[in-house]
Amino acid sequence: MTTPRIAVLGLGNLMRTDDAVGMLALQVLRADPRFPQSVPLIDGGTLGLELLYPLEGITHLLALDAIDAGARPGALLRYSGEEIDSLPVSKSVHLLGFSDLIGALRLTGNDLQEIVVLGVQPERIDWGTELTPRVNAALATLVESAVAQVTRWLGTADQQPGPPLEGEIPQMAAAAEESWYW
């Protein structure tokens, strides 16, 4: 098996409170010594098809975003495989752009082998530059999940601590009110 060509894409708007969580997660990952420097971190913001070129040749894509799925604010959500097609795009302008981007990548023959979207349920998406307390508390879990996913793709999951694999029960030290949606 060849080494996957991985990219992490942060989506969101830094001026819209909890919608910024994906972009802020990228900032934390840039400073995390566990995160492989060979994996590009792409500021996607609210862009859509403009991201075709930066994602050219990527085989494994991890997107980080705020996703309004009607869950409890601060809940971590994970979509992969066919679940990507059921993302609640009506609740997010940039998820619609993300859906268009994935379709365009497939149409142009990009060899996307796996896509995972990690999101946090927002509490508020209005004008402001700070996350709400529950979403801010979930930011560390989002970052840990991103590190764990990239580590799995690189084949070194046994060397890195991280959130549970699908089907395992998460052990969260932070708070009982935080939850995982797998």
Q: What is the pLDDT of residues 35-44, one digit of tens each?
A: 999 999 999 8
Please check whether residue 64 is in contact with residue 28, taking contact to mean a CB–CB distance below 8 angstroms.
no
Task: Convert the pLDDT of each residue in 41-82 to its tens digit.
Answer: 999 876 666 777 788 889 999 999 999 889 999 999 999 988
Lowest mean per-residue pLDDT among 84-93, 120-129, 165-174: 165-174
Residue 107 scores a pLDDT above 80 = yes
List alpha helices for 18-132, DSSP H. Answer: 21-31, 93-107
Q: For the chain, report the end-to-end CA distance as a whole number of angstroms.
A: 27
Residue 171 scores a pLDDT above 80 = no
> Percent of the chain beyond pLDDT 70?
75
What pLDDT shows up at residue 72? Answer: 97
What pLDDT shows up at residue 89? Answer: 56
H helices then E strands: how many in the chain?
A: 3, 6
What pLDDT shows up at residue 88? Answer: 62
Considering only the top CATH level, what class is 6-181?
alpha beta
Q: How confident is the model at residue 97 (pLDDT cuts 50, 70, 90)?
A: low
Q: Is 91 helix (H, G, I), strand (E, B) or coil?
A: helix
Q: Which two tokens stand for residue 55?
A: 């994602």
Please check whether residue 118 is in contact with residue 64, taking contact to mean a CB–CB distance below 8 angstroms.
yes
